[in-house]
Amino acid sequence: MQAATGYPEPVLQLRDLLNTYLEPEKVALVLKAYDIGEVAHRGQIRKTGEPYILHPVAVAQILANMRMDHPSIAAAILHDTIEDTPLSWEDIKKQFGDEIADLVDGVTKLDKMKFRTRTEADAESFRKLMLAMSRDLRVIFIKLADRLHNMRTLGGMLQDSRRRIARETLDIYAPIADRLGMNSMQHELEDMGFANLYPWRYKTIAEHLQSTTGDRLEIVDNILEVLRKKMAEAGVPCRISGRQTSPYSIYKKMLARDLSFSEVTDFYAFRIITQNESQCYLALGAVHSLYQPKPGRFKDYIALPKANGYQSLHTILSSPYGLPIQIQIRTEEMDIMASKGAAAHWQSKNGEFTSDLPTGSAQVRAREWLMRLVDVQRHTGDSLEFLDHAKSDLFPDEIFVFTPKGKIIDLRQNATALDFAYAIHTDVGNHTIRTLVDNVEVPLSTRLANGQTVKIITDQAVQPRPEWLEFAATARARTAIRHYLKSLRQEDTVALGLRLLEKALNARGTSVEQIQKRKWKKFLKKNHFKRQEDLFHDLALGAILANVVAAKLAPETGRLSGKPGYGEAITIAGSEGNALSFGACCMPVPGDKIMAYVSTDKGLVVHRMRCRNVREFRKHPDRCVDVNWAPITEGMFPVAVRIEARNTPGVLANISTSIGEAGSNIETVAQPEANPETATLLFNLSVQDRDHMARLMRKLKRNSNVRRVHRVG
């Protein structure tokens, strides 16, 4: 419908809403954005059959309902112009200035023609969006509003497209809204994503939810009346309402806990909104005196806010109606924050953003999260890897743990002691040698729980190992480990590759230095190596064999391995870093008789001579390398130990104490078997050499709880 003013009805509704909180000149700027956007999009039609311009207007309306500032509203109207119309960033800058132009550019997708696949293009667009968010958080508010309106109008798309967009919404955009504390938008995105991805499941749960709600209206009204009377008696001014659980929230609980629909929905939910924080705790005391609280079901998110800034008291009570009562208690301000999260800070009388942000607010926490993501992206190799890291950080389930000085560190659920170390600082994580949880030494892979106190002990001689990636749970830890390994690996592998080639050339009666420059240049060019270092790197990784290269560089010489001084074994000192690895099948330690095998995917791998795989390696003599331990080795080496112990309370702590007293560290521990009499424990321990290992074994055998102990592999 076109109004007499020339603007369609949706634009007039937007104008009227903006007039309630923006000054006239700012509203005029938004209307100017509409005029320019309407001309740019003229002739474009959405799959719903509507003129395209009504989509950005609807996006702007969503933001106006959140009372966002005028640059955000104008940018929302123009958000598709750079991508889908002849308008450029320079055109928008000329008309509206840098601020609005940069917001539009931040939301704009990248040209898909630059990428091999849609997946790669989407990942790079997401990376660009995250970086734009880090510069201006309003970018993501516009993008979320854009996604919300797209989901509301998804019916015009083909089924495959609907499912793909719904999956992306559930995997990325709803979790982002959650991470920013924007609960209202999160729940709507989740329910629409769920409805389009699994329409039958959504319909079934929604219908059941509607029927059960109808059956319980009288009971809900009775509880509301009792709660209001109790709050009045306690002198707590508040408003109380029943709370509807969303279909997707129910579905997630059914999946996570393997529950039936009735088991998930069998409770009454209420929300008490007070005027200040102290009244929240008065209200809590009042409801606890009204109905008996269920043990272990109280959570204080006011004292310990969630990672997204969410604050509220949660408690579950027993009711006289046979079903639990779930109650959330918070202030009006907390309720606004729970609904709008980081976007709430753009709400003011004139719609302008205030920089006076309280510590711990959703805005500050969102900024901290984004800065962590920016740090992650600096060290990721490509957009797909970055997207994987970001997804792992988006899901909001968190735990709170403490440093020895009482500082609270929030981590994602399933985070390990190693993740805690990296949360303190990257250097702390890189050099972690021991961790104590509640004063008990535990492996780095130990998963942490709420309320634990964690102490990290570092050693500059320690450096990240590839196996750390197997249990690091946070993006920050995994990215830091990978970055460290890559930087060290390049330097270490070049040195090892040089040693391997030197050994192969020695066996032919020559050396690297004796190869003429002309031969080097010809060989490198023919084999597509830019530098000698690139060749040495590939040699260390097993991509090319040293004796093959030696034969091409020195074809005129014969094999002289029997001559003294040539073909001597490579010495292993433990200081080679990530250039070589030690076989997980046999875990050699200094003092063991060893050999090495050049693997095509792992490079040089050191094995014990007694390893069960050596016979197979010997079938490929060109890949076998003679190695010996250096007279003095560095660092600690993993060894697998199997212990059969008495199955009594505290046995693990008792054995761990013996291990610590022997000067060894626990890397991992598992219990594959147990019966009422005995428990089998598999430890990966770190030792300096065979002598240290022997002392450790004697110490364990003297432990009264240990029945048998032997080395594995």
Checking if the pLDDT of 287 tops 70, the result is: yes
Q: How far apart are the first and last CA of the chain?
A: 79
Closest to 358 in 3D by CA, of 349, 371, 367, 350: 367
Over range 297-312, report the average pLDDT.
80
**Most confidently predicted of 208-222, 318-332, 636-650:** 636-650
Query: Of 24-28, 172-176, 436-440, which gets the smallest average pLDDT?
Result: 172-176
Task: State the DSSP H helix or E strand holding residue 654, giving kind and residue range, or none if neither.
Answer: helix 651-661
- Percent of the chain past pLDDT 70, that is, above it, reads 81
Residue numbers annotated as active site: 83-84
Assign 110 a pLDDT band (cuts: 50, 70, 90).
Answer: very low
Checking if the pLDDT of 392 tops 90, the result is: no
Assign 579 a pLDDT band (cuts: 50, 70, 90).
Answer: low
> pLDDT higher for 28 or 396?
28
Average pLDDT along the chain: 81
Identify the pLDDT of residue 344. Answer: 63
Burial class (CB in 10 A: 0-12, 13-18, 19+), 140: buried
Closest to 365 in 3D by CA, of 345, 390, 342: 342
Query: What is the CATH topology of the domain spanning 9-197?
Result: Hypothetical protein af1432 (1.10.3210)
Assign 92 a pLDDT band (cuts: 50, 70, 90).
Answer: very high
Checking if the pLDDT of 5 tops 70, the result is: no
Checking if the pLDDT of 537 tops 90, the result is: no
Query: Of 349-353, 388-392, 421-425, which gets the smallest average pLDDT?
Result: 349-353
The domain ranges of the chain are 9-197, 205-346, 364-480, 483-581+598-606, 637-711
Residue 345, token pair as written in the block? 């800070």
Over range 658-673, report the average pLDDT.
85
Phi, psi of 347 (to 5 degrees): -85, 120
Closest to 314 in 3D by CA, of 324, 303, 329, 335: 329
Identify the pLDDT of residue 3. Answer: 45
Over range 126-145, report the average pLDDT.
73
- CA 75, chain centre distance (Å): 30
Residues 478-502 as b/e (b if ≥16 CB within 10 A, e otherwise) read bbbbbbbbeebbeebbbebbbbbbb
Query: What is the CATH topology of the domain spanning 364-480?
Result: Ubiquitin-like (UB roll) (3.10.20)
Identify the pLDDT of residue 368. Answer: 62
Query: Of 104-118, 280-294, 343-357, which gets the smallest average pLDDT?
Result: 343-357
Angle between helices 89-96 and 24-41 (to 10 degrees): 150
Identify the pLDDT of residue 374. Answer: 59
pLDDT tens digit sequence for 601-616:
677 889 999 998 998 8
Over range 80-86, report the average pLDDT.
89
Give the Cα separation of 124 and 122 in Å (integer): 5
Checking if the pLDDT of 562 tops 50, the result is: no
pTM, entire model: 0.53
Identify the pLDDT of residue 212. Answer: 67
Checking if the pLDDT of 354 tops 60, the result is: no
Checking if the pLDDT of 24 tops 50, the result is: yes
Cβ neighbours of residue 176 closer than 8 Å, sequence gap 6 or more: 140, 144, 394
Assign 25 a pLDDT band (cuts: 50, 70, 90).
Answer: very high
Q: Tell me how far CA of residue 703 lies from CA of 222, 284, 652, 659, 707, in angstroms.
A: 64, 51, 12, 10, 8
Tell me the residue type at 359. Answer: T
Checking if the pLDDT of 109 tops 70, the result is: no
Checking if the pLDDT of 199 tops 70, the result is: yes
**Most confidently predicted of 176-180, 310-314, 401-405, 533-537:** 310-314
What are residue 272's DSSP bridge partners? 240, 329
Checking if the pLDDT of 570 tops 60, the result is: yes
**Most confidently predicted of 8-12, 250-254, 451-455:** 8-12
Give the Cα separation of 624 and 617 in Å (integer): 7
Checking if the pLDDT of 230 tops 80, the result is: yes
Checking if the pLDDT of 550 tops 80, the result is: yes
Q: Collapsing DSSP states into helix, strand and coil, what is residue 242? A: strand
**Most confidently predicted of 2-16, 596-610, 616-630, 683-697:** 683-697
Which CATH superfamily hosts domain 637-711?
ACT domain (3.30.70.260)
Checking if the pLDDT of 631 tops 80, the result is: yes
Burial class (CB in 10 A: 0-12, 13-18, 19+), 40: buried
Question: Given the structure tokens 């065979």, which residue do they identify?
Answer: 690
Query: What is the CATH topology of the domain spanning 205-346?
Result: Beta Polymerase; domain 2 (3.30.460)
> pLDDT higher for 36 or 468?
36
Assign 90 a pLDDT band (cuts: 50, 70, 90).
Answer: very high
